[in-house]
Structure 1
Amino acid sequence: MEGTGGEGSEKGGGEKACCCVRERPERNGDDDSQLMLLKPTLLAAATAANQQQNYSDEYRKRSNTLQSNRSDKRWPKRDMGPQFELRCCIDPEILRINVDRQYYFEDETVRVNGSVFHKRHDYNNLMSVIPRSKFNGIHIKMEDDCPQGGDDVRLCLLKSLGAHNLRSIPCVQCKDELKVYDKYPLIDGVFYISPVSQFGPKTEISLDGRRFFLQQLCARCLWSDWSCKNCGKDEWFDGKSYVLGTLYYYDIVSSGRCCPTVCQNCKQPLGVRDQLSTQLANGNYATINEQMTCQSCGVSKFHLVRDIKTCHVSRAPTFCE
């Protein structure tokens, strides 16, 4: 009994063991076959994903390179140099005197225009000076239409002139009065700054922390023929190339060279070094604003500023085209 039972139990246990062993490989075989079938699909998907990622990285890399190259080409980095910061130089005492002297709320110009300056109604005066072919936004400064504004020059000039109650200013050459308008073009001529006041009220403005005098030339003088009284040469001043109605940051009359520079005190040759002459010839007019010492008399002045009295101007004819 024991033996039979033992055998039976062993047999039964063996069968159960065999069944267990038999069932597990069958399930493992199915899983392996399914995995074997899925492997190519998973491998292909992983490969495609890796390729897509590589393509994306490569595209991003190329795009960044192209954008940087394009931006470098379109907007190259340059040394802008001085910032040309323009500021008013208003003496509080002069401002107080002008305010006390003039009651602006009873002023007819202020009542009509809203400011002490004139409101432009036509361009008849300019049209009588310059030809119609030059009557455009290239040769005449018009109102700024950019979203950033860029109105600092106009506001600075009007504040400086308004503090002195200057509604009209004289041309430094012909002495004719020029009306000051509240919008561009500010005058029928050009403003420019100089370290020396040639004629008219001494209105000061600040450029990069240095004080200069505000000067102006009318359009008729700009479009006239200039000659030098000392050497007799002409064609050294090209007034027709300047944009009317705006401000230049250098002495435009002194930018033209015709004869050797002399000391304004002793009239001896100043002996300008070759490097400075080259800078002036290349358009670096900032050197005009520097004081120089005469080797003969030792006087330090702005010798490079041309005296307006040494210039002869033949008034141009009136254009009626």
Structure 2
Amino acid sequence: MAPRRHLGPTPALMGLEALEEAGVTRCCVPSGDCLRAQQALNDNDHVLICLDDLRDTVRVTCNNDGCHSGRYMHRECFDQWEQTVLAYLKTCGRARSWSERQRHQNLWTKKGYDLAYKACACKCGRGHLKKDLDWMPPPPTSRIFGRLEDMDASKKKKRKSKPQRPSLSINTNGHGMGSEIRARAGSLSCSSTGSSSPPSSGSEPSVSPIHGHCKRKNKMELNERIRIGGGANGIFTRRLDFSSFNALPKNKLNSYQIKTEDEGNHGNDDTRCFILSTLASQGRSKVQCVLCEEQLLVFDRYPLVDGTFFLSPRQHAKSCIEVKVEGRTQFLTVVCMGCLEGVNGRGIACRFCNQKWDGSSLVLGTMYSYDIFAAMPCCTERIKCNSCYKPVLHPAQRLNFFSDYSHMVPCPHCRTLDTHFVKPLGFCYSRQMARALHVAWP
């Protein structure tokens, strides 16, 4: 009889260092058991995280230097745990007045984490966990896919057919080095196959993070950016990289500050379809910033623009596009990233209280369903009736939601029904623009 093979300790009994030497690690979710462990029971191959393929994981850091509980969670485990932390944040101090979106955006930044860290206790018992916003999943190693290619042939193939994936990169001193910031696994692929939303790509092959069978593009084609075929007459630009966001602070290069993926299945996102179909019907592949009048390219996937769209009941400029939303007339408007961030002297300030308008907290590349200028009244003049010029609200009163400031409300004095909080930009703001108004930013 053949000698019995020694199997060694099971993964459940192995230490973290031993597991990592074997190329795997455990999910370090602190609240309860790993979801995959509950589903898979004894299937350790399914439960353990393979260090050669971290695309479906989230990295966290513990402030205990001696922590040995692990650094990675399955995405579904992290999402469930994050909900418990958000529920705790909802009960904390100033976060009680935040909207759900604000809590989600601020949770892993200093603004929110300082309030919620007590709910982030690590399994080690001596530290607290925090999501690593600067981490990106490295590309899977070749052994995951069973490739047995010769090293020299592999290098040549990479040089010839390197996938042209969009990436959020930070250029360092003019060199091509950078770090790609990903929203979620697979969210930054060039296109989604099977998408029926406009514009759908009929001639441009999708780019998979695994198989990089993209045709080689010459430098001129890359500089001009690839025009997509198919839906919407192919007028929108295919974004090849995220270098235009390099000027943002490093802590904003994440999926909470920059919209990078569809909300719907297979790319059928209602917001994206609405914007692209509206612009396609008018033959517009570019839009104009309502503040500095800079021309902005519109892209076929998120982030849709280097700035943000919003809907307003008032036409702030001739470039704003009239649309019908739920039977109401609205105007599709855009503000560029430079004006939102107030860089190089760009920006606007209230004519009455001289407070500068700040749009740096808004998510880039998507659309807000309300007037973003009306949503943050800074003084009494901003809340006065458009007819009798008396305050519609008490100066200390605030409405529950940002969108409420864009709705029709009756004046308590003259009973006039109007969007009283949406003022003409020239009436309530003065420009603080740079000398060279139309110079590209940065």
So what's the TM-score if we normalise by structure 1? 0.55
Q: Which moved more, 1:213-222 or 1:298-307?
A: 298-307
In 2, Cα distance between equivalents of 1:210 and 1:216 = 19
Structure 1: runs of 5+ lacking an equivalent: 1-72, 77-108
Aligned AA for 1:233? Q
Q: Describe the SS at the equivalent of 1:256.
A: coil
Q: Partners in 2 of 1:197 and 1:319 — Cα distance?
A: 25
Q: CA deviation at 1:193?
A: 0.5
2:347 is aligned with 1:232: no
2:355 counterpart letter in structure 1: K
Within the candidate set 266, 278, 282, 2:397 is matched to: 278
Change in 2 beyond 3 A, CA 1:262/1:278: closer
State which structure, 1 or 2, has the greater radius of gyration over its C-alpha atoms: 1
Partner of 2:95: none
Give the counterpart letter for 1:250 in structure 2: Y
Percent sequence identity over matched residues? 30
Distance 1:112 1:181, change over 3 A: closer
Q: Which moved more, 1:136-145 or 1:245-254?
A: 136-145
For residues 172 and 182 of structure 1, what CA distance do their matches in structure 2 show? 21
Between 118-127 and 245-254, the greater mean CA deviation after superposition: 118-127
* Equivalent in 151, 154, 159 of residue 269 of structure 2: 151
Structure 1 residues 170 and 112: alpha-carbon distance in aligned structure 2, compared to 1, 3 A threshold: closer
Query: For the structure 1 residues 243 and 278, does the alpha-carbon distance in structure 2 shift closer, same or farther, using more than 3 Å as the test?
Result: same
Distance in structure 2 (CA, Å) of the matches to 1:233 and 1:182? 36
**1:190-237, CA deviations, whole angstroms, 9 ceiling, x for partnerless residues?**
011010110133423343332311111101100015420122223xx4
Candidates 232, 242, 245, aligned match of 1:126: 245
Task: Kindly provide the amino acid, as one letter, of the partner of residue 423 in structure 2.
Answer: R
Q: SS of the counterpart of 1:213?
A: strand
Residue-by-residue CA offset, 1:54-79 (whole Å, 9 max, x unaligned): xxxxxxxxxxxxxxxxxxx99x9xxx
For CA contacts below 8 A with separation 6 or more, give which structure has more relative contact order.
1
Contact 1:265 1:299 in 2 (8 A): yes
Give the whole-Å Cα distance in 1 for the aligned partners of 2:396 and 2:235. 43
Structure 1 letter corresponding to 2:241: D
TM-score by length of 2: 0.41
**CA shift in 2, pair 1:292/1:138, >3 Å:** same
| Match for residue 328 of structure 2 among 206, 210, 218 | 210
Q: Are 1:263 and 1:294, in contact at CA under 8 Å, matched by a contact in 2?
A: no
* 8 Å Cα contact 2:369/2:403 also seen in 1: no
Aligned length: 207
CA contact (8 A) 1:131 1:319 kept: no
Q: Of residues 100, 103, 116 in structure 1, which corresponds to 2:235?
A: 116
**Residues in 2 aligned to 1:232 and 1:222: alpha-carbon distance in whole angstroms:** 17
Alignment correspondent of 2:169: none
Aligned-residue RMSD, C-alpha = 3.5
